[in-house]
Structure 1
Amino acid sequence: MRLALLGDFHYSSMSHGTEEMKAARVRAYEHMLEAFLKEEADFHISIGDLTHEGTAQELRSIYSILARSERNFIHVLGNHDTYSIPKHEISTLTGQDRYRAIDTPHAKLIFLDTTQEMNREDWGGELDGEQLAWLKDQLADSYEKQVLLFGHHPVFDTTARSTLDKLYVRPQDELKSIFNSRPEGGIYFCGHNHINSIVEQGKWHYVQTAACLDVPAYRVIEVHEGKVAITHRLIQGAGLIDDIQSFCSDMPGFGPVADALGEESDLILSIQLASAAH
């Protein structure tokens, strides 16, 4: 199985700004999305903040682009995606469930909704009791399969910046306890903190992906029996960086992150999972 994973995309309708900025926005977003969707994969996954303001206009615009590719696209909700309209309206517009699980021959894919609803004052993550109970059941029901978990916000005290205020999921201790209750471990993929980071803790690997406006790129995840290989693909394009820089500084609520690319160890991972020994 092959997965393509897009970091925080922050697709913005840019209702303000000059005509030159708006034209640069169109070129940059369409170029990055086209490169991502060209990658052959069983699932193309957005790790959240697919949109910048989460308006119906932004969601309709980007989903109209996605529809042209006929890819199997999965949208993990990010806090920016949920700023403007209720979650049930987002689901109606996108046709996507808030959270779900997909069983495949070699792995179980679990997609979480770590966002609050229409809360611009607190962009931190949280899981309510209902979803925590569901997650426990999904992990308990994973048998010997590899588990790949996807959520927008990082788990507390794992990847880069994940101990800072509003940059992790609450309840922090209970969530990590649920993860660690699975003896075989797994891999948790997240975004939100806008910097590439890969950390190993116990039997779990935590993989965080930078925002596309800081690092135009995506990850490719190849899953085989007992093995997972993760690579990082930069998106090339003449004028792409100049186009991004011409408009991203004028997006309220978005600021560049220094050293977002990370180290080589934050880009590539190859592991043999413990579940393969059973």
Structure 2
Amino acid sequence: MRLVLMGDLHYHEIDETIPGWLEARDDFYRIFLDRFLELEGDAHISLGDLTNYGASSELQEVYEMIRQHDRTFYHALGNHDLYAQTRMEVLQITGQARYHAVVTDRAVLAFLDTAKEMDFEDWGGWVDAEQLQWFEEVVKASGTKPLLVFAHHPVYNTTTNSEKEKGSIHPSIDMWNILNQKVGVGIYFNGHTHVDSIVKQNNWTFVQLSACLDQHGLRIVDIEQEEIRISAMDITDEALAENVGTLYNHMKYFRHNPNARGIESDRECNVPLQLPAEQK
């Protein structure tokens, strides 16, 4: 089973009075999404902030590009996706579920909604009691099968910058109370902080993806019999590098991070699936 992941895309509206911005945006996102969706996979996944402000035009335009490819696409809501409209309005446009689980022969995939609704002042994450109860049930029901969680915000104090204010799911929410109930392997994928990072804590591996504008790359997740392989793929089309400066120099609500890549150990890893003796 193969999954293809991208981090924060930040597809955005433009000001057509600024020369070259429209062409640069359209070229960048067309190329990037084509490369993302051309890759063979059982599912293609956005870890949130698919759009820059969640405006109807942003959502409709980016989904039009995505739907040109015959792919199973999942979108975990990010804070930027919910700035302009309510959660229900956004979900009506995208056709996505707010949070849900997919059970396969190889693994359980759980998609969380960690974004606050129309709260431009607080971009930190939140998970309400109803969703927490649902997630706990998913963790328990997964048994010893690998559980892969996809969310926009990291769990507090796991990946790089998740300890900073508004850099994670709010620390008052005890996510570990649920995560610690997992038997066997759990992997938590997130975006939000715009820097690559991989951290292992207990039986969980936390994999954080940087923003696509900063780091032109994807993650490939291969779920095999004895291990889960997480590998990095760089997209090297020259047009991406040529256009990206125009984008983050003009767009609002996005600040370029030149140190998004980190080191190679923050981008790739293998997770063995054999249970430790104490968990058998």
TM-score (norm 2): 0.96
Give 1:15 shift.
3.3
Aligned ranges for residues 67-146 of structure 1 at < 5 Å?
Answer: 67-146=67-146
Match of residue 183 from structure 1 = 183
- Pick closer, same or farther for the CA change 1:244–1:204 going to 2, 3 Å: same
Kindly provide the CA deviation profile for residues 97-134 of structure 1, in whole angstroms up to 9, marking residues without a partner as x.
Answer: 01000000010000000001011000000000000000
Query: Which runs of 5 or more residues in structure 1 are unaligned?
Result: none
AA paired with 2:231?
T
State how far apart, in whole Å, the 2-side matches of 1:130 and 1:55 are.
27
Classify the secondary structure of the residue corresponding to 1:256. Answer: coil
CA–CA separation in structure 2 for the residues paired with 1:168 and 1:16: 35
The alpha carbon displacement at 1:252 in A equals: 1.3
The whole-number CA distance in structure 1 between the counterparts of 2:30 and 2:2 is: 23
Q: Which amino acid aligns with 2:41?
A: A
Instruction: Determine if contact 2:15/2:21 at 8 Å carries over to the other structure.
Output: no
Equivalent residue number for residue 26 of structure 2: 26
Instruction: Write the letter of the residue equivalent to 1:47.
Output: L
Contact 1:116 1:126 (8 Å CA) reproduced? yes
Structure 1 CA distance, aligned partners of 2:165 and 2:48? 19
Aligned equivalent of 1:220: 220
Determine the structure 2 residue equivalent to 1:257.
Answer: 257
Q: Does the residue aligned with 2:26 lie in a helix, a strand or coil?
A: helix
Q: Would you say the 8 A contact 1:3–1:222 is kept in 2?
A: yes
CA apart distance, 1:31: 0.6
TM-score (norm 1): 0.96
**Partner residue of 2:169?**
169
CA distance in structure 2 between the aligned counterparts of 1:145 and 1:172, rounded to whole angstroms: 29
RMSD: 1.4
Q: What is the total number of aligned residue pairs between the two structures? A: 278
CA displacement at 1:171 relative to structure 2: 4.6
Q: Name the structure 1 match of 2:153.
A: 153
1:60 paired residue number: 60
Contact 1:111/1:151, CA 8 A, preserved across alignment: yes
- Name the amino acid aligned to 1:251: M
In the alignment, structure 2 segments of 5+ residues that lack a partner are none
Displacement of 1:225 after TM fit?
A: 2.6
Is 1:206 paired with 2:209?
Answer: no
| SS of corresponding position for 1:126 | coil
- Determine what percentage of the aligned residue pairs are the same residue: 39
Change over 3 Å in CA distance of 1:195–1:273 after alignment to 2: same
Alignment-mate amino acid for residue 97 of structure 2: D
**SS of the counterpart of 1:249?**
helix
Residue identity matched to 1:37: L
2:126 and 2:185 map into 1 onto residues whose CA distance is: 21
Q: CA deviation at 1:239?
A: 3.0
Give distance in 2, aligned partners of 1:252 and 1:230: 32
Describe the SS at the equivalent of 1:229: strand
Write the letter of the residue equivalent to 2:71: R
Secondary structure of 2:238's aligned partner: coil
Distance 1:17 1:49, change over 3 A: farther
C-alpha separation in 2, matches of 1:76 and 1:229? 22
Output one character per residue of 1:138-195: Cα deviation in whole Å (capped at 9) or x when no partner: 0010012100001100111110000001000025451122112223240000000000
Mapped partners of 1:253, 1:68: distance in 2: 28
Q: 1:60: how far off? A: 0.5
